[in-house]
């Protein structure tokens, strides 16, 4: 299953790769070189398909938990100043996505979308400390009955050139459902209340819509 954001790229790539393969077959006389080029074209198509895959993951819809919005590796867990929406201290959990990760963005919590804003910007590498404030990005805040306002930020990386955000102010977000897409390597930050205990650690690989970032335990 592939994400709708990749349909045009997949079709165009398939047509161009097929045309290139026919030209190689027609004009390259050396058998070993012809085979090498054809294998390279197939591998390129496989990479395109891999990037736009969209595995089915039924929504958890847990009001007592925040889930990972994307696949990737946890690179930051720290308390920071969040200047755009909260204008105060928040616990930041950042997940870095390589080009080989699934790039679907999923809602980390259910609730009402109370803030959604796009910011044009630079294309620093996604792990750069200032990428969250200087790079092209979107900021989305979902009001959740358990955790209050939960902010997540899609951040473009050095290769990412398009952020797709489906969240609009007033929408009802359903945890784990499709909230957007970032093309070709990037990062997503989640901002939680200060001192929130988390279930993940630096370097851990997480799955969007599956891994619990934090959950509210019974008193």
- Catalytic residue of the set 13, 110, 132, 186: 186
Overall size of the chain counted in residues = 219
Active site residue 131: no
The strand pair at 111-119 and 172-173 is best described as antiparallel
Residues whose CB is less than 8 angstroms from the CB of residue 19 and which lie 6 or more positions away in sequence, other chains included? none
Q: CA-CA distance, 96 to 73, in Å (whole number)?
A: 5
Q: Is 138 helix (H, G, I), strand (E, B) or coil?
A: strand
* CA atoms of 187 and 97, how far apart (whole Å): 6
Q: How far is CA 14 from the centre of its chain?
A: 24
Q: Which residues are catalytic?
A: 186
């Amino acid at each position: 299953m592939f994400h709708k954001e990749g349909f045009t790229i997949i079709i165009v790539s398939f047509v161009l790769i097929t045309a290139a393969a026919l030209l190689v077959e027609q004009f390259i006389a050396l058998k070993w070189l012809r085979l090498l080029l054809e294998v390279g074209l197939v591998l390129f198509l496989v990479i395109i398909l891999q990037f736009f895959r969209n595995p089915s993951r039924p929504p958890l819809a847990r009001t007592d938990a925040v889930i990972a919005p994307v696949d990737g590796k946890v690179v930051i867990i720290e308390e920071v100043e969040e200047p755009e929406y909260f204008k105060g201290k928040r616990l930041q959990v950042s997940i870095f996505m390589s080009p080989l990760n699934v790039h679907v963005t999923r809602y980390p919590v259910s609730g009402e979308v109370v803030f959604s804003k796009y910011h044009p910007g630079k294309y620093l590498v996604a792990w750069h400390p200032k990428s969250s404030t200087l790079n092209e990005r979107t900021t989305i805040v979902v009001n959740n009955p358990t955790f209050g306002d939960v902010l997540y930020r899609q951040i473009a990386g050095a290769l990412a050139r398009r952020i797709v955000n489906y969240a609009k102010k007033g929408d009802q977000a359903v945890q784990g459902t499709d909230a957007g897409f970032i093309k070709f390597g990037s990062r997503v930050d989640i901002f939680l209340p200060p001192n929130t205990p988390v279930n993940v650690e630096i370097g851990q690989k997480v799955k969007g819509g599956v891994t619990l970032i934090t959950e509210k335990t019974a008193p």
